[in-house]
Amino acid sequence: MTHKASDNLTDIQSRKGDHIRLCLDPRSQADQSVFAPYRLPYTALPEISLDQVDTSCSFFAKTLRMPLIIASMTGGSEHGRSINTNLAIAAEHCGVAMGVGSQRIGLEKQDAQDTFKLVRKHAPHACIIANMGVVQLNYGHTVDSYRKVVDMVEADALYIHLNPLQEALQPGGDTDFSDLLTKIAQLVRAVPVPVIAKEVGHGVSADVARRLCEVGVQGIDVAGVGGTSYAWVEAERSHDDDFAAWFKHFGIPTDQAIAEVSTTVPSGIPVIASGGVRSPVDGLIARALGADLFSAAIPFLAPAMESPEKSIEIVQHWQKGLAVAMFASGVTNWEAAASLSLTKQ
């Protein structure tokens, strides 16, 4: 099967610009925080020093100074060039991971490819995650395309994003998601880095996570309902107010997805919390729910549109905030934070 004729490079670049603009629209965000009902244990006598708190963690073959993945956002446009540059500089300086936006356009256009390649140039030591939609395996792409996107950014891992609802609402979306699991199994064997399956804001269920792990996927990013709604974004692009209302909150809430997936996947498979993580306190709550790392995009987008200095500043602010939250909860390291007991209002 080949790409639809309407799915040309100009369309893709225009869509990427629309996504940035609409994701910054407050209406694209969940109506309430999915983490707000939870309370971390406050410890008035922690018996530790703040200086003892270690926010670092291991992620595949690398050590991160904070269990944060700056989430996949963009690439393939001039806006994407500056955003990726600033985020890559911040990821390198602060020792966190970074996922790039969908790289399909980079396979087809040299200028677009450069907006992704620059990430490794500015982040030679950071953990970088390549990204391409898994549905493209039904639209003319082979495992070789995924090898190429990994090579494009000299990636440490590969995101394959699962986005059936987004594609169904996207004008001209790719909606043939049939018979993909077998192809994912082939893909996992063919690429030279760990493969992480991720949603884009509507959640991964325990059953889907189990099936993905059974064919060799090595990480799950739950990307649940609670943050940016790409269903709303695509419905807004189509000027369909009904679909925007009907599907904005369609899917699995992030907290539910974390809890279910973390108890389903085999030991050693990292579970990444995303979808409404808007602070390091949310990230620590996600850890207590069962996540191994947390990921966010929106908090870092506006700073990345401004400068590398602003991008570094906000990541450092999050790292300090995470250390304070861990200290006030009475834990000195990220592994111990997994045992924190939450209360829910």
- Output the domain CATH number for residue 332: 3.20.20.70
Asked if residue 6 is part of any domain, the answer here is: no
What is the Cα–Cα distance from 305 to 341, expressed in whole angstroms? Answer: 37
Asked if residue 136 is part of any domain, the answer here is: yes
Residue 215's pLDDT is 98
Query: What's the pLDDT band for 24 if we cut at 50, 70, 90?
Result: confident
Identify the CA nearest to 69 among candidates 267, 256, 227, 271.
271
Decide: helix, strand or coil at residue 221: strand
Return the structure tokens found at 102.
């969908």
What is the Cα–Cα distance from 59 to 194, expressed in whole angstroms? Answer: 11
Residue 188's pLDDT is 98
What percentage of residues in the chain have a pLDDT greater than 70?
94
Domain extent at residue 191: 61-339
What is the Cα–Cα distance from 157 to 180, expressed in whole angstroms? Answer: 20
219-221 vs 157-161, strand pairing mode: unpaired
Residue 142's pLDDT is 97
Query: What's the pLDDT band for 12 if we cut at 50, 70, 90?
Result: low
Residue 9's pLDDT is 53
pTM for this structure? 0.94
For 247-259, what is each residue's pLDDT tens digit? 999 999 999 999 9
Confidence check: pLDDT of 222 > 60: yes
Asked if residue 38 is part of any domain, the answer here is: no
Identify the CA nearest to 291 among candidates 228, 236, 209, 214.
209
Asked if residue 12 is part of any domain, the answer here is: no
Query: What's the pLDDT band for 76 if we cut at 50, 70, 90?
Result: low
- The residue with greater pLDDT, 278 or 31, is 278
Helix (H) or strand (E) holding 101: none
For 173-210, what is each residue's pLDDT tens digit? 999 999 999 999 999 999 999 999 999 999 999 999 99
Asked if residue 48 is part of any domain, the answer here is: no
Crossing angle between the packed helical segments 280-289 and 308-329, to the nearest 10 degrees:
50
Helix (H) or strand (E) holding 98: strand 97-99
Number of independent structural domains in the chain: 1
Average pLDDT for the chain: 93
Return the structure tokens found at 343.
């209360």
Residue 274's pLDDT is 98
Asked if residue 68 is part of any domain, the answer here is: yes
Confidence check: pLDDT of 231 > 60: yes
For 148-164, what is each residue's pLDDT tens digit? 999 999 999 999 999 99
Query: What's the pLDDT band for 92 if we cut at 50, 70, 90?
Result: very high
Asked if residue 167 is part of any domain, the answer here is: yes
In single-letter form, the type of residue at position 212 comes to: L
Identify the CA nearest to 257 among candidates 276, 238, 235.
276
Confidence check: pLDDT of 10 > 80: no
For 40-67, what is each residue's pLDDT tens digit? 999 999 999 999 999 999 999 999 999 9
